[in-house]
Structure 1
Amino acid sequence: MAIKLENVGIAVRDLEAAISFFTDLGLTLVGRDTVRGEWTDTAVGLDGNHANIAMLATPDSHGHIELFEYLHPAAIESTPVRPNEIGMHRIAFSVDDLDRALEVAARHGCRPLRGVATYADTYKLTYVRGPSGILVMLAEELKKPALQR
């Protein structure tokens, strides 16, 4: 059986703010739609499902994020996930200039949770709290790791 990752779906409170954040980081908006009807009720498992959605792609077109702003049923606010909680955790991006990426994030009111760290002289990385409380990891490769993934 062949398998590939299609996208990561993220429910957001403000679709425009989330699109702005991710496009400023370098993703491209590839499509928008409003979805509703029996097919969405069945696929998502929510009666009366109605949402505005946007699909964004990384510059290499291998990674996609689908953002959802629920109109019905009403979105449920929750406490933003912490890095050590079980479940969906974060979205991570490789960037070629972490300082520049953090400047972009700061324009959206997003700052590192604690600071910038260096892992084994290989990566400089940090977590920021993005729009709607989304945890976003940004990592700049400093040199190729000895063990390739």
Structure 2
Amino acid sequence: MPIKLENVGIAVRDLEETIAFFTDLGLTVLGRDEVSGEWADIAVDLDGNHAKIAVLQTPDGHGQLELFEYIHPDAIETEPTRPNEIGMHRVAFSVDDIEESLAVAARHGCRPLRGVANYRDIYKLSYIRGPSGIIVMLAEELQKS
């Protein structure tokens, strides 16, 4: 049975703030909508489900994020995820220039969790805490082919 990754879904506090962050990093908004109704209740197992959504795509056309901000029921605030917690871990992106990408993130108040690491002179990478506490990994390949 063939399988294809469609997108990664992330619930956010503020849809517009999160769209601004990811579009500044280079993603493009493919579409926006509001979803509700019986089909949405069944699909996600929440009665009265109503959310604003946006689908963003990476410049290479392969990766997509579906961001959703709940109107009903109220979103549940949790502590920010730590890298060693079970469950959704992070979203990772390859970037051409990690310093430039970190500068973009900083304009949104997002900073590295610790700093920029060098992995065996193959990648420079950093985990940052993005909007709504999303952990975002940025990686710059050092040995480009």
TM-score range, shorter chain: over 0.9
Question: What does the per-residue CA deviation read over 1:65-124, in whole Å, with 9 as the maximum and x for residues that have no partner?
Answer: 000000000000000100011111000000000010000000000000100000010000
Tell me, which stretches of 5 or more residues in structure 1 are unaligned? none
Residue 3 of structure 1 deviates from its aligned partner by 0.4
2:93 is matched with: 93
Alignment of structure 1 residues 1-149 onto 2, 5 Å: 1-143=1-143
4+ residue runs of structure 1 moved beyond 2 angstroms? none
Percent identity (aligned): 75
Q: Which runs of 5+ in 2 are unaligned?
A: none
The Cα RMSD (Å) is 0.9
- Give the Å deviation of 1:33: 0.2
In 2, Cα distance between the equivalents of 1:100 and 1:144? 18
CA–CA distance in structure 1, aligned partners of residues 70 and 29 of structure 2? 19
SS of equivalent residue, structure 2 residue 115: coil
When normalised by structure 1's length, the TM-score is: 0.96
Distance (whole Å) between structure 2 residues aligned to residue 144 and residue 60 of structure 1: 17
Residue identity opposite 1:29 in structure 2:
V
**Distance in 1 between the 2:58 and 2:111 partners?**
21
Q: Counterparts of 1:119 and 1:13 in 2: how far apart (Å)?
A: 33
Question: How many pairs align?
Answer: 145
* 1:37-60 deviation per Cα after TM superposition (whole angstroms, max 9, x unaligned): 001001111000000000000001
Shift of 1:144: 5.1
Q: Distance in 1 between matches of 2:60 and 2:27?
A: 9
Taking the aligned partners of 1:103 and 1:87, their CA distance within structure 2 comes to 28
